[in-house]
Amino acid sequence: MSKAKRAKLTLQTSPICQLPEDILVHAFSFLDLASLLKCSRTCRLWQRLSDDSSLWRSIHLAERRLTVQSLWKVVRRRFNRYLTSLSLRGFYGDSPPLGKRRKCLLSVALVEEIKSRCRGLKRLVLKNCDLRNVSFLHFPTGSLEFLSLENCVLMSSAWAGQSFPKLASLNLSRSSMIDLSHVEQISSFPNLIHVDFSHCFRLKDKAVTVLSENASNLQSLSLSGCSQVTDEGVHKIARNLKQLKRLNLRDVSRLTDAGVSVIANTLANRLEELDVSQCLEVTDQGMEEIGQKMQRLRYLNVALCQKTTNECIAALRVLLPNCSVVTELAS
């Protein structure tokens, strides 16, 4: 008897294989994707059990470089009505092989196939994807609650005609094509409470104004690295977003004491987290207003604010005893 046959016989007669199938399926539900695929290659019983649709509620492929053909195979074999969470990584920004043109990972046909199979998809994470040929008309927008499009490129009318009725959280960080036209469409989503525009360098005060006037339910907003946003845009945020609890203005280089003063005076009774790290024009004057008026703060990041003195930082810690005052950037 060969070594492989002996190993398979040993497994099939081992105590674990005597467990009821529903118990084995439950045990498989605690495995990550790679481990589950390894189990499916162990024996016929485990292959059949690992194909159970209930085990494929979450499929995370963002750390794997799949070809278009490989992704099609996964979609046809594994995607089903139980799938609620999906992450994928594309090729946008990658250098194609010498002499070849890199294909887009997501085509209209593939996205529509995903939509037809995954009607209950709640969480979708796409990274480094070129979506200039795909509208959200083809996505399962009716069920989505969380959408991340980090470092993706979108067509200007990508959101047109889509209301995203359940979408609560939207991450567009490093999606360099995001501008006023996108914000005008996004701001109409009725249940949006978290938005991340980090490093969307085309955003200006007009876009921020449109967002603040229309997305009134926002509780968390990140404009980190949005270098064209000024005190004027920050003023609109403070005046219009009455439910805002978390505001990230890291490296908003045009923010000055005037903008900080508006935040301190207008959001004092609501804001719990504030990041003004790397805001090079903010001085002790602005920091003092934060310390004197923003007693609800639980987190304040002032790292690399070069015009803020150590004495002022020490005073902040005294004035805000219940707040974590951070003076170093996370690695």
Give per-residue pLDDT as tens, 4-56. Answer: 555 555 555 677 777 888 888 788 888 876 687 788 778 888 888 887 877 77
What is the pLDDT of the chain when averaged over all its residues? 89
Can you tell me the distance from the alpha carbon of 110 to that of 325, in angstroms, rounded to the nearest whole number?
Answer: 47
Q: Is the pLDDT of residue 238 over 60?
A: yes
Can you tell me the distance from the alpha carbon of 152 to that of 182, in angstroms, rounded to the nearest whole number?
Answer: 13
Give per-residue pLDDT as tens, 288-298. Answer: 999 999 999 99
Cβ atoms of residues 129 and 92 within 8 Å: yes
Q: Is the pLDDT of residue 103 over 70?
A: no
Could you give the percent of the chain with pLDDT greater than 90? 64
Q: Is the pLDDT of residue 279 over 90?
A: yes
Q: Is the pLDDT of residue 107 over 80?
A: yes
Q: What is the CA radius of gyration of the chain?
A: 25
Looking from the CA of 33 toward its CB, the CA atoms found within 13 Å total 14
Per-residue confidence at 128, pLDDT binned at 50, 70, 90? very high
Going by the DSSP 8-state scheme, the letter that residue 245 receives in this structure is -
- pTM for the predicted model, two decimal places: 0.88
Per-residue confidence at 98, pLDDT binned at 50, 70, 90? very low
Is 95 or 98 the better-scoring residue by pLDDT?
A: 95
pLDDT at residue 19, as a whole number: 83
Collect contacts of 19-27 with beta carbons under 8 A, ≥24 apart: 21/49, 24/49, 25/49, 25/52, 25/54, 25/55
Residues of the chain with CATH 1.20.1280: 1-55
Per-residue confidence at 113, pLDDT binned at 50, 70, 90? very high
| Domain 59-326 listed as CATH 3.80.10.10 | yes
Cβ atoms of residues 251 and 275 within 8 Å: no
Residues of the chain with CATH 3.80.10.10: 59-326
| Domain 1-55 listed as CATH 1.20.1280 | yes
Average pLDDT over residues 82-105: 74
| Cα angle for residues 15, 18, 21 (degrees, 5° grid) | 130
